[in-house]
Structure 1
Amino acid sequence: MSGTAAGTARLDALAAAARTGFAARFEAIPDGLWSAPGRVNLIGEHTDYNQGLALPLAIDRTTVAAAALRHDGQVRVSTVLEGKYDGVRVPAADISPGSVSGWAAYPLGVVWAFARRGFPVPGLDLQLETDVPVGAGLSSSAAVECAVAAALNDLLGARLGLAELATLCQQAENQMAGAPTGILDQTASLGGRTGHALLVDFRSGAARPVPLRLEEHALRLLVIDTKVSHAHAGGGYAERRRDCERAAEQLGLDSLRGLTAPGLDAAEARLDAAAFRRARHVVGENRRVEETVQLLEAADPAAIGPLLSQSHTSLRDDFEVSCPELDLAVDTACRHGALGARLTGGGFGGSAIALVPAASAAKVGTAVVNAFRNAGLVAPEIFPVSPAAGAARLA
């Protein structure tokens, strides 16, 4: 089965589960079904909140939301956790930062963000189904947020555009879930395009599709989920963001996007060691994004491999967001045939990606699994992903 066919089959199964779950939990038929994908960031890590460049792609792992408006002011949200239904019920008027925690903060945060934007929810029943691995760095949280946002945008007749929806979802994650993330994940989940990555300039807000052409060049993009769970609401992500903000302030810049490679030498004398390393990563990462786009637009996707590996080295050494499991995955994949590999997402766990010739995919995967077993680690989950379309109504 091709990657596209497998993705379609998974989406159909999720949609059926969402319908069934909605009926079981709420004894009703939903007003509709909406989906939003997870994402892989091909390159351009920790650049979004520095007004830099990134190249994410929506992937064929998805969250489906079955939703129906209510008119009694109650919001009921349900999902399946560890094989059992889990749900919350809360008055819409009571939803605010600090009022809810755990997984429900993400969908309820979107309800709250819509109300702040002038679109109060009169009540809502919501059933969520997903095959985006949680804690794997594939933006399971943004997939939930964007699926709910797509549903509310239609049900409330809000007619908000992609940029506005992404901002609402980011507000939900930042203020309701307490994760100080940038807007990359939501932008990718909402704006993804089949067969393409999305070049996003976070200073101008511009985004445009970039063709990947992986299949026609007999390439695969493997995700290696290390099973080391990460959470952006933890302290490491916030600390790196503060480092970058401190570096920009010390240099008299609005953001590190204003720092260029020729200015790095002079910057080193003005920054503390940690701030300089963060700045050096951001400058180099923006350059790597530009070079990756040039190669992809020249129809040479195999040539981006070294740039992926350079990105990982920078994230490991200068940004210090890798971990032993991610390093093992990347190093092993490259030693056994990958053209390049890097951690994807915020780091501190989660997943790595590896660009591999299709004929070598099984060999690379086996080598990584064996390396983890020999190191006494939990076995990673390894699977290919294909660039998919963004959030949409299914029915």
Structure 2
Amino acid sequence: MSLTVAELNQLFSAHFKATADYHFRAPGRVNLIGEHTDYNDGFVLPCAIDFDTHVLARKNGLNVIRVIAADYNNQLDEISLETGIEHHADYQWANYVRGVVLSLQRQNIALVGCDLAISGNVPQGAGLSSSAALEVSLGLTLTTLAEQPMSLAQIALTGQQAENHFVGCNSGIMDQLISAQGQQGNAVLIDCRSLECKAFAMPQELAVVIINSNVKRGLVGSEYNTRRKQCEAGAEHYGVKALRDLDIDAIGNIFAELDDVTARRVRHVVTENARTLAAAEALANDDITTLSQLMAESHASMRDDFEITVPPIDYLVSLVHSIIGNRGGVRMTGGGFGGCVVALVPHDMVAEVKAQIAANYPEQTGLVADVFVCQPSAGAEIVAQS
């Protein structure tokens, strides 16, 4: 259970017998379109959301980082800055903290001892990047306390390195970068090769609705890494650095050149990149009909070519689409195998979407979905310092 900032301050003071000097936050995210394209050097179109991880901090004058995790029954971790950093045997959350610390040390950032209290309300295991929000907020915290500021892009890369090389999930850069560089009221088109970000205003007539299927998913040790290897095999076959370097014409005879599974994986990424660029253009033109079609095509491709959806997710997408039609868009979002659906829903239809999900989803699946109506939000920041 996440704490309010006031409650987190109380916990900090009670545990560390001192008052926090800094308050940092970083948001989760939802990806509107562009799935499994990021680690293929491609394009994604996410927005940061108004669900955040908060870190309260102070320097402690010691050579140790002490952390209390409010959302995990106030579990504690201590990380020595004088010895090598190893995985925590019992607490997975602590490995994200340790991974960020190690990644910063490897960049020759001279970290200082500090006390940290962490809490957040980004739903975990739902595909909304609770891990990236944690990594980015920690990167901003630790570099600020060390008085060695980094660009937000470099903080994002640090978080990705922690997740890839310490936690063990080969995620792309999207989650950390949008958490770091989200923009209020906008989706952000990210070129995952150059890290260039371009903001596109979200249509004011549409709400960002996130539906958590409550089909739990975990990317570490899952088929996520398998998909990445399949994409790399496809790029190697075509002699390109990444699948981003291919277009539809280049893969015309793909099923004659690759085995069926690899061919479908490649086709998804190549067509998804094209859809993502087209979706950004549709936003620029306020063309919701085209955006709706592109999101529908994206979901079909994730279901049939990349094979990362599950029946409860497919049902939710079909149900929401039957309500909103081409007045909005709906698709699975996130790494797959459960998690969330993102829907762009006209404000006057949000209540009906919620009601239909509540009435039909449990009967169809035996699960209860959580529905969040979100705002496109700003990225990581120092909220307060004394």
**TM tier, smaller:** over 0.9
Match of 2:351 in 1: 362
SS of the equivalent of 1:242 reads helix
Q: CA deviation at 1:160?
A: 1.0
Q: CA deviation at 1:255?
A: 0.7
Task: Give me the CA root mean square deviation.
Answer: 1.7
1:175 aligns with 2:162: no
Residues 51 and 202, structure 1, Cα contact 8 Å, conserved in 2: yes
SS of the equivalent of 2:135 reads helix
TM-score normalised over the length of structure 1: 0.92
Residues 111 and 143, structure 2, Cα contact 8 Å, conserved in 1: no
Match of 1:374 in 2: 363
1:253 aligns with 2:243: no
Match of 1:384 in 2: 373
1:293 aligns with 2:251: no
Q: How does 1:299-378 map to 2 (within 5 A)?
A: 299-301=286-288, 303-337=290-324, 339-378=328-367
Q: Which runs of 5+ in 1 are unaligned?
A: 1-10
1:122 aligns with 2:109: no
Q: CA deviation at 1:72?
A: 2.0
SS of the equivalent of 1:254 reads coil
Q: Pick from 227, 235, 243: which aligns with 1:240?
A: 227
* Residue type of the alignment partner of 1:85: N
Residues 26 and 53, structure 2, Cα contact 8 Å, conserved in 1: yes
Q: CA deviation at 1:24?
A: 2.0
Q: How does 1:184-263 map to 2 (within 5 A)?
A: 184-213=174-203, 215=204, 218-263=205-250
* Residue type of the alignment partner of 2:280: V
TM-score normalised over the length of structure 2: 0.94
How many residue pairs are counted as aligned between the two chains? 380
Deviates more, 1:228-237 or 1:35-44: 228-237
Q: How does 1:53-72 map to 2 (within 5 A)?
A: 53-72=43-62
* Residue type of the alignment partner of 2:58: A
Structure 2 distance, partners of 1:94, 1:281, is: 45
Q: 1:21 to 1:199 in 2, by over 3 A?
A: same
Q: CA deviation at 1:99?
A: 4.5
Structure 2 distance, partners of 1:342, 1:97, is: 39
Residues 191 and 389, structure 1, Cα contact 8 Å, conserved in 2: yes
Q: CA deviation at 1:376?
A: 4.2
1:91 aligns with 2:91: no
Structure 1 distance, partners of 2:196, 2:112, is: 34
Deviates more, 1:360-369 or 1:179-188: 360-369
* Residue type of the alignment partner of 1:28: A
* Residue type of the alignment partner of 1:152: L
Structure 2 distance, partners of 1:202, 1:315, is: 19
Q: Which runs of 5+ in 2 are unaligned?
A: none
SS of the equivalent of 2:252 reads helix
Match of 2:69 in 1: 79
Structure 2 distance, partners of 1:234, 1:325, is: 22
Match of 1:264 in 2: 251
Q: 1:77 to 1:302 in 2, by over 3 A?
A: farther
